[in-house]
Structure formats: C-alpha cells, structure tokens
Amino acid sequence: MATLRFDGRVAIVTGAGGNPSLGRAHAKLLASRGAKVVINDIGKDPDDVNYKDSASAEAIAAEIIAEGGEAIANTDSVATAEGAAAVVRSCLDAFGKVDILINNAGMCPIDDVDKVSDLDVMRTLGVNLFGTIWMCRSAWPHMTGAGYGRIINVCSGAMTGFPKLSIYGATKGGVFSFTRALALEGAEAGIKCNSVSPAAYTRMIIAMQEPGSKLLEYTRRTQPAEMVSPMVALLAHEECPTNGENFNAMGGRVSRTFLSETKAFTDPDLTIESLQEHISEVLDEDGSIVWVPGSVGAESELSAADLVDRASAG
C-alpha cells in the first residue's frame, strides 16, 4: 500500500494552537507527510471563562518547524469575514496557494437553552457556524481558480440532539448541511467537501470535566486526538474517496452518519385522524431510503437542481 503524502500541498488548520487539540494533531500529521501548514488560533478569547491557559499558534508552528516541517502561525479570528480573509491572505502570502482547509476552530457552552448567555450564543454561532462559512467563502475563489480543493468541516454528534448542548448542536447541524451544499457547488471545480464528527481528549474536553473524573481519564487513555487525524487526512488528500459525507472518528473507530427517510404513508384526503391511525407506518424505519446530497426528499421527483432552475426562472 502506497504511503499517502501531501508534498506540494498547502493547508490551513483553524483552532490548531491548543495542546492537546484536534487541530494540532491534524496539522502535525499533514506536515509530517509533506504539507505546508498555516496554524490558526486566536490564543486567548477574553470572553472565554472555560480555559485557564492560552492556546498558541506560534508554539505549534514552532513544533512543526523543529520536526523538519514547514508552518506559519496566524492569530486572526475566523468569527468575522475580515478575520477569515486575513487567515487566507496570510496563507497566500507565505505559500502562494491554499489546497486544503480544515475548519476545526470551535467553542462549546454547556447549559440549559434558556441559561446560556446571549454572548455565548452569539460567540458559538460566530466561531462554529459563521467561522466555517467565512473561511470557506474566503478560500473558495482560490480553490475554484486552481481547479482543486479539499475542505473538511468539523461537525459533532451533538447535532442529533444532546441536553445542555442545544446551541452547540444547532451550529454543528448547520455545518453538516452547509458541507453537503458545498460538495455539490464545488464538484465541477475539483473541490471536495466532507465533514468529520470527532471525539477526543482535548482542551475542550478537559475544560468540560471535573479534574480527576473517571470519564476524563478514560478519554485520555483511549481517545487521543491523533486517532482522529487519519480520517481528516484521508479527506484532505487528492485521493479523497467521498464528497458531501460525514464521518465519526474516535479512538481508532470510524463510521458514517447519513440522513434517511422512512417509507411514506400517502392519503390524498389526509386528515388528522387518518394520520393518527397510520403514524406507525410513518415512523417505521424498515425500507428507509438514504438521502444523498442534492436530494429533496427520498421519494420526491424534484432535485436540488430542479429547485434552482425553478427559482431562476420565476
């Protein structure tokens, strides 16, 4: 089996200044395989009370350089269009192009939906969802111009619903849908977009758990961040096998998450009562059909392209 390398490729990894962190692990793996890497991290958010220490893009870039790789540090915030543009500009200034974008930066407030502060709601949307959007928009014209690109966005299993993570989950659900749309938009230009829902021992997990907790120790032993990076790196490679998919990766275990639709109950004279009588048929998962990117319902005769054509015409 041939070794997959990234010689000649240039990658941006956001939120990569923490240690331990997923971004750091991704960046170091790509650099060890020949990629030139931009390490992006703001360091310390003055509004963040969860982290007592500061991340350091400079420190991670220095690690890579000391190990014989090529890297630069960038401290602009992805939460604004201007910041994201500055991240991409620093990449172009240093390395002349951007081939790979890994949108790893994120934050995760934990509380009941009515108790999360307004500030934390906006900050989470700003980093997790809008940060992903701004970075993709900034890198997009350079990738389409080159006819090549690989984008990996970070999702989370929390998008399926998790108590006290409603805001975080909402942002990750948005990233999931955004990634599927980008996969369709970029396909003809040679851009592939996928997402990864990771679980690993990171600064975020450490901040969320009480010191010495059994869960924290278990995560430290069994789920190092480096075990997520091979999935991310495969999606970042020119031989990336998928487009518009979401993968779960933790502790060496990899699986795929997908959307599906149950077989329909149909009644041209549908009423509340007839629906109540047949709701078990609507809920029955046997014979479910997978939604692929671009589908508008598994049994619909309309495709996403049909909707775009109709909107353009009308």
Tens digit of each residue's pLDDT (9 = 90 or more) over 145-188: 999 999 999 999 999 999 999 999 999 999 999 999 999 999 99
Whether residue 3 lies inside any domain: the answer is no
**One domain, residues 84 and 208:** yes
What is the CB neighbour count within 10 angstroms for residue 91? 26
Low-confidence ranges of the chain (pLDDT < 70): 46-53, 203, 208, 295-314
**One domain, residues 270 and 184:** no
User: For position 252, what pLDDT does the model report?
Assistant: 96
Whether residue 50 lies inside any domain: the answer is yes
**One domain, residues 108 and 45:** yes
Whether residue 85 lies inside any domain: the answer is yes
User: For position 206, what pLDDT does the model report?
Assistant: 72
Helix axes 22-32, 57-66, angle to 10 degrees: 30
CATH number of the domain where residue 102 is located? 3.40.50.720
User: For position 216, what pLDDT does the model report?
Assistant: 76
- The yes-or-no answer on residue 148 being catalytic is no
Helices (H), the chain: 22-32, 57-66, 81-95, 118-124, 131-146, 166-186, 203-208, 214-222, 229-236, 272-283, 304-313
**One domain, residues 19 and 155:** yes
Name the catalytic one among 51, 168, 201, 218: 168
Q: What is the DSSP string of 141-176?
A: HHHHHHT-EEEEEE--GGGG--TT-HHHHHHHHHHH
Of 239, 257, 275, at which residue does a domain stop? 257
pTM of the model: 0.91
Domain of 34, in residue numbers: 10-257
Total domain count for the chain?
Answer: 2
**One domain, residues 15 and 115:** yes
Cα–Cα distance measured from residue 83 to residue 86, given in angstroms and rounded to the nearest whole number = 5
